[in-house]
Copies of this chain bind each other. A is one copy, B any other.
């Protein structure tokens, strides 16, 4: 299935006049507060977030999975789905592949397909948390941190291969998320596991092309329930420091203990020029992997405040952004549309914070004033800015509405059937 610009234009036309009115009203207010709307517009236009290939299928929990229909069964179909998304919102221009789920059979073909849809390949992801069918070693008790050298080497070699696949697709970073850890006290020696992991990462790091980055993800629990070998940003950062300049930490919103101040972690990592990636989702209890912004939109805004602050005021690279959610109940494409929208709204609100006033209030210990400044930006209804930006870029003013009006899911079900199950979790 393809969505044409004409289809989008037709749908947009119905909204244009009201949108223009709302945009003008908002623009007037923002201009009077010295917001540079052109700069804002440029930033919105160039903001692109990666979609992981496995997020196009229905997710599940350990208690089962309720599949939807029309799921993509091949890498080509996954890329096509992201193309549909990007056509609608102009902000999903990156694909993040998971190996071995997404090994291309023909690189040229895949590269061409992506290019046709204006998509690029973002960070590639390795998988050492599941055994592959014919593997002679098992990751049941660890992979990169394993005490058994052969198992460890298998995991190291897999990561090297992922880099090689990525190179042929133009990717520039490898994301390592590890399930390694222990579910019971005593099961592992923490220090030995850390040391083994450190050695493994060094070997992978040495295989990185000069212009690549290694992104080290952390997570406090699940699937191991007593300890994870990279449980927190402190451990991730320690490893990244030891490895060298090309190694960075990656923050996943859902990978924190209850009540963690994630925005502070973002700020400190950027202060150290060591924030390499960011995975978006939302959660109430754990790694719930819900739609971005569906539970804690203010936290998301505070995080974007730090991201914007860090990008502006530090030498930190712009992190690799990715949505990392599990779509158990919603249509995966609808979920992704809502997630991208929530990210854009948080980003846009962060961009209109009056940073000078904030710095002044901070300097004067005007705590109530600081709150007013942040919340003024947060309460501003920036949706017209984003919609107008999309209108200008020939994307859909209201992507979710367009998705439904264009019967995308129904068409995909017709094309692919209702039983096909996407590879992945």
A14 near B: Cβ within 8 Å?
Answer: no
A13 near B: Cβ within 8 Å?
Answer: no
A160 near B: Cβ within 8 Å?
Answer: no
Q: For chain A residues 297-327, which have a beta carbon within 8 Å of chain B?
A: 297-298, 302, 305-306, 309-310, 313-314, 326
Q: Is the CB of B226 within 8 A of A185?
A: no
Q: For chain A residues 178-209, which have a beta carbon within 8 Å of chain B?
A: 179, 182-191, 194-195
| CB-CB nearest in chain B for A21 | B25
* Bound CA–CA A191/B329 (angstroms): 21
Contact with B along A106-150 (1 / 0, CB 8 A): 000000000000000000000001110000001111000001000
Q: Is the CB of B185 within 8 A of A425?
A: no
* Bound CA–CA A292/B379 (angstroms): 15
Q: Is the CB of B381 within 8 A of A189?
A: no
Q: Is the CB of A331 within 8 A of B368?
A: yes
Q: Interface size bucket, A side?
A: 35 or more
Q: Is the CB of A61 within 8 A of B62?
A: yes
A7 near B: Cβ within 8 Å?
Answer: no
Given A66-B138, A284-B261, A371-B338: A222 and B61 interface contact (C-beta under 8 Å): yes
* Bound CA–CA A232/B256 (angstroms): 12
Q: For chain A residues 273-307, which have a beta carbon within 8 Å of chain B?
A: 283-286, 288, 290-291, 293-298, 302, 305-306
Q: Which residues of B contact A195 (CB under 8 A)?
A: 271
Given A238-B272, A329-B140: A259 and B261 interface contact (C-beta under 8 Å): no
Contact with B along A237-259 (1 / 0, CB 8 A): 11000000000000000000111
* Bound CA–CA A328/B141 (angstroms): 10
Question: 10 extra interchain contacts, Cβ-Cβ under 8 A, other than A225-B290, A234-B238?
Answer: A63-B130, A66-B131, A184-B290, A185-B371, A185-B374, A191-B268, A225-B284, A226-B261, A231-B261, A379-B381
Q: Which residues of B contact A372 (CB under 8 A)?
A: 338, 400
